[in-house]
Amino acid sequence: MKLICGLGNPGREYERHRHNIGFMVVEALLSRARAELNQEKFAAKVGQGTLAGERILFVEPQTFMNLSGRSVAEAARFYKIAPEDVLVIHDELDLPLGRLQLKAGGGSGGHNGLKSIVASLGSEAFIRLRFGIDKPEGPNARERVADYVLSNFDDGERRQLDELKDRAMDMTECWVREGLSVAMNRFNRKA
Protein backbone atom coordinates (compact mmCIF):
# COMPACT_ATOMS: atom_id res chain seq x y z
CA MET A 1 0.00 0.00 0.00
CA LYS A 2 1.11 3.55 -0.77
CA LEU A 3 -0.09 6.80 0.75
CA ILE A 4 -0.82 9.80 -1.46
CA CYS A 5 -1.38 13.06 0.37
CA GLY A 6 -2.48 16.32 -1.15
CA LEU A 7 -1.69 19.44 0.86
CA GLY A 8 -4.14 22.28 1.26
CA ASN A 9 -6.35 24.10 3.71
CA PRO A 10 -9.87 22.89 4.55
CA GLY A 11 -12.94 24.99 3.84
CA ARG A 12 -14.72 26.41 0.81
CA GLU A 13 -12.98 29.77 1.13
CA TYR A 14 -9.60 28.11 0.39
CA GLU A 15 -10.55 25.54 -2.22
CA ARG A 16 -9.36 27.45 -5.32
CA HIS A 17 -6.20 28.90 -3.76
CA ARG A 18 -2.73 28.16 -5.10
CA HIS A 19 -1.86 26.60 -1.72
CA ASN A 20 -4.59 23.99 -2.32
CA ILE A 21 -3.23 22.50 -5.53
CA GLY A 22 -2.38 19.29 -3.63
CA PHE A 23 -6.07 18.83 -2.75
CA MET A 24 -7.02 19.56 -6.37
CA VAL A 25 -4.68 16.87 -7.75
CA VAL A 26 -5.80 14.26 -5.19
CA GLU A 27 -9.44 14.96 -6.00
CA ALA A 28 -8.67 14.45 -9.70
CA LEU A 29 -6.81 11.20 -8.91
CA LEU A 30 -9.80 9.79 -7.05
CA SER A 31 -11.69 9.14 -10.30
CA ARG A 32 -8.71 7.26 -11.78
CA ALA A 33 -8.49 5.15 -8.64
CA ARG A 34 -12.26 4.63 -8.39
CA ALA A 35 -12.06 6.02 -4.87
CA GLU A 36 -13.66 8.66 -2.73
CA LEU A 37 -12.68 10.43 0.46
CA ASN A 38 -15.41 8.72 2.43
CA GLN A 39 -13.88 8.55 5.91
CA GLU A 40 -12.70 11.08 8.45
CA LYS A 41 -9.83 9.92 10.60
CA PHE A 42 -6.29 11.00 11.41
CA ALA A 43 -7.72 14.58 11.36
CA ALA A 44 -8.08 14.10 7.60
CA LYS A 45 -10.43 13.06 4.84
CA VAL A 46 -9.27 9.63 3.70
CA GLY A 47 -10.25 7.03 1.15
CA GLN A 48 -8.82 3.95 -0.50
CA GLY A 49 -8.63 2.94 -4.12
CA THR A 50 -6.40 1.24 -6.66
CA LEU A 51 -3.98 3.00 -8.96
CA ALA A 52 -1.72 1.11 -11.37
CA GLY A 53 -2.65 -2.13 -9.60
CA GLU A 54 -1.55 -0.89 -6.16
CA ARG A 55 -3.74 -0.16 -3.15
CA ILE A 56 -3.60 3.55 -2.35
CA LEU A 57 -4.61 5.44 0.77
CA PHE A 58 -5.56 8.99 -0.22
CA VAL A 59 -5.23 11.63 2.52
CA GLU A 60 -6.32 15.27 2.66
CA PRO A 61 -5.34 16.70 6.06
CA GLN A 62 -8.05 18.89 7.58
CA THR A 63 -5.72 20.50 10.13
CA PHE A 64 -4.69 23.47 8.00
CA MET A 65 -1.35 23.46 6.20
CA ASN A 66 0.96 24.09 9.16
CA LEU A 67 -0.17 20.94 10.99
CA SER A 68 -0.49 18.57 7.99
CA GLY A 69 2.20 16.26 9.32
CA ARG A 70 -0.02 14.98 12.09
CA SER A 71 -2.45 13.42 9.59
CA VAL A 72 0.27 12.00 7.35
CA ALA A 73 2.26 10.49 10.21
CA GLU A 74 -0.78 8.97 11.95
CA ALA A 75 -2.05 7.40 8.71
CA ALA A 76 1.39 6.09 7.73
CA ARG A 77 1.95 4.55 11.15
CA PHE A 78 -1.53 3.00 11.33
CA TYR A 79 -1.16 1.34 7.92
CA LYS A 80 2.58 0.64 8.39
CA ILE A 81 3.52 2.60 5.28
CA ALA A 82 7.24 3.46 4.98
CA PRO A 83 8.17 7.10 4.26
CA GLU A 84 9.49 6.01 0.82
CA ASP A 85 5.92 4.89 -0.03
CA VAL A 86 4.42 8.27 0.89
CA LEU A 87 3.86 10.82 -1.89
CA VAL A 88 3.03 14.40 -0.89
CA ILE A 89 1.62 16.67 -3.60
CA HIS A 90 2.19 20.34 -2.80
CA ASP A 91 2.45 23.83 -4.24
CA GLU A 92 6.01 25.01 -5.00
CA LEU A 93 6.96 28.69 -5.13
CA ASP A 94 10.42 27.93 -6.51
CA LEU A 95 9.07 26.44 -9.74
CA PRO A 96 7.23 28.39 -12.44
CA LEU A 97 3.63 27.50 -13.17
CA GLY A 98 3.71 24.64 -15.66
CA ARG A 99 6.74 22.95 -14.10
CA LEU A 100 6.13 19.78 -12.10
CA GLN A 101 8.89 17.82 -10.43
CA LEU A 102 9.17 14.59 -8.48
CA LYS A 103 11.87 14.25 -5.87
CA ALA A 104 12.77 12.11 -2.89
CA GLY A 105 13.65 13.65 0.43
CA GLY A 106 15.21 17.03 0.94
CA GLY A 107 14.32 19.96 3.11
CA SER A 108 11.08 21.87 3.35
CA GLY A 109 12.16 24.91 1.33
CA GLY A 110 10.22 27.04 3.80
CA HIS A 111 6.94 25.20 3.04
CA ASN A 112 5.15 24.88 6.38
CA GLY A 113 3.20 21.78 5.33
CA LEU A 114 6.44 19.98 4.45
CA LYS A 115 8.09 21.17 7.70
CA SER A 116 5.19 19.67 9.64
CA ILE A 117 5.40 16.35 7.77
CA VAL A 118 9.16 16.05 8.30
CA ALA A 119 8.73 16.78 12.03
CA SER A 120 5.77 14.42 12.54
CA LEU A 121 6.99 11.59 10.32
CA GLY A 122 10.51 11.85 11.71
CA SER A 123 11.90 11.49 8.20
CA GLU A 124 12.61 13.51 5.07
CA ALA A 125 12.56 10.36 2.91
CA PHE A 126 9.01 10.76 1.61
CA ILE A 127 8.46 11.55 -2.06
CA ARG A 128 7.29 14.99 -3.16
CA LEU A 129 5.44 16.03 -6.27
CA ARG A 130 6.31 19.72 -6.47
CA PHE A 131 3.63 21.60 -8.42
CA GLY A 132 5.05 24.93 -9.59
CA ILE A 133 2.88 27.93 -8.79
CA ASP A 134 5.52 30.64 -9.44
CA LYS A 135 6.10 33.38 -6.88
CA PRO A 136 5.42 37.08 -6.52
CA GLU A 137 7.96 39.41 -8.11
CA GLY A 138 9.09 42.96 -7.48
CA PRO A 139 9.58 45.02 -4.34
CA ASN A 140 8.48 43.41 -1.06
CA ALA A 141 7.96 40.09 -2.87
CA ARG A 142 8.94 38.07 0.22
CA GLU A 143 6.36 39.89 2.34
CA ARG A 144 3.66 39.12 -0.24
CA VAL A 145 4.20 35.34 -0.32
CA ALA A 146 1.46 34.47 2.21
CA ASP A 147 -1.14 36.55 0.35
CA TYR A 148 0.01 35.08 -2.96
CA VAL A 149 -0.31 31.41 -1.95
CA LEU A 150 -3.68 32.16 -0.33
CA SER A 151 -5.06 33.72 -3.51
CA ASN A 152 -6.89 32.13 -6.43
CA PHE A 153 -5.22 31.25 -9.70
CA ASP A 154 -5.88 34.00 -12.26
CA ASP A 155 -7.82 33.34 -15.49
CA GLY A 156 -4.72 32.61 -17.57
CA GLU A 157 -3.40 30.18 -14.96
CA ARG A 158 -6.78 28.46 -14.60
CA ARG A 159 -6.76 27.69 -18.33
CA GLN A 160 -3.56 25.66 -17.83
CA LEU A 161 -4.65 23.84 -14.66
CA ASP A 162 -6.54 20.92 -16.22
CA GLU A 163 -3.56 19.98 -18.39
CA LEU A 164 -1.16 20.37 -15.44
CA LYS A 165 -3.35 18.28 -13.14
CA ASP A 166 -3.47 15.58 -15.85
CA ARG A 167 0.34 15.60 -16.00
CA ALA A 168 0.54 15.43 -12.19
CA MET A 169 -1.79 12.41 -12.25
CA ASP A 170 0.33 10.73 -14.94
CA MET A 171 3.46 11.36 -12.85
CA THR A 172 1.81 9.91 -9.77
CA GLU A 173 0.59 6.83 -11.61
CA CYS A 174 4.05 6.28 -13.12
CA TRP A 175 5.61 6.53 -9.63
CA VAL A 176 3.16 3.92 -8.34
CA ARG A 177 3.64 1.56 -11.32
CA GLU A 178 7.33 1.94 -12.22
CA GLY A 179 9.03 3.60 -9.26
CA LEU A 180 10.60 6.96 -8.57
CA SER A 181 13.65 6.84 -10.84
CA VAL A 182 11.60 5.93 -13.94
CA ALA A 183 9.01 8.60 -13.13
CA MET A 184 11.69 11.25 -12.53
CA ASN A 185 13.49 10.40 -15.79
CA ARG A 186 10.25 10.49 -17.74
CA PHE A 187 8.65 13.61 -16.26
CA ASN A 188 11.22 15.90 -14.63
CA ARG A 189 12.41 17.37 -17.90
CA LYS A 190 11.59 21.03 -18.38
CA ALA A 191 8.32 21.49 -20.23
What is the model's pLDDT at position 140?
Answer: 86
What is the model's pLDDT at position 190?
Answer: 60
* CATH of residue 109: 3.40.50.1470
Nearest-Å Rg of the Cα atoms of the chain is 15
Nearest-angstrom CA–CA distance, 18 and 145: 11
What is the model's pLDDT at position 108?
Answer: 87
What is the model's pLDDT at position 64?
Answer: 92
67-121 pLDDT tens trace:
999 999 999 999 999 999 999 999 999 999 999 999 999 888 889 999 999 999 9
Owning domain of residue 23: 2-188
Q: Is 20 annotated as a binding residue?
A: no
> Between residues 107 and 66, which one has the greater pLDDT?
66
Choosing from 17, 19, 90, 111, the catalytic residue is 19
Q: Are 61 and 5 in contact (CB under 8 A)?
A: yes
11-56 pLDDT tens trace:
999 999 999 999 999 999 999 999 999 999 999 999 999 999 999 9
- Alpha helices by DSSP H, listed for 41-154, are 68-78, 112-121, 145-149
Taking the model in full, what pTM does it have? 0.96
Q: How many domains does the chain have?
A: 1
Q: What is the largest CA-CA distance in the chain?
A: 49
Residue 191 has pLDDT above 70, yes or no: no
Residue 160 has pLDDT above 90, yes or no: yes
Burial 130-159 (b: 16+ CB within 10 A, else e): bbbbbbbeeeeeeeeeeebbeeebeeeeee
Q: Is 153 annotated as a binding residue?
A: no
Segments of the chain assigned E as strands:
2-6, 39-41, 44-51, 54-61, 86-92, 100-104, 127-132
Q: CB within 8 A of 99, min separation 6: which ones?
A: 132, 190, 191
Q: Is 112 annotated as a binding residue?
A: yes
Residue 143 has pLDDT above 90, yes or no: no
19 is known as an active-site residue = yes
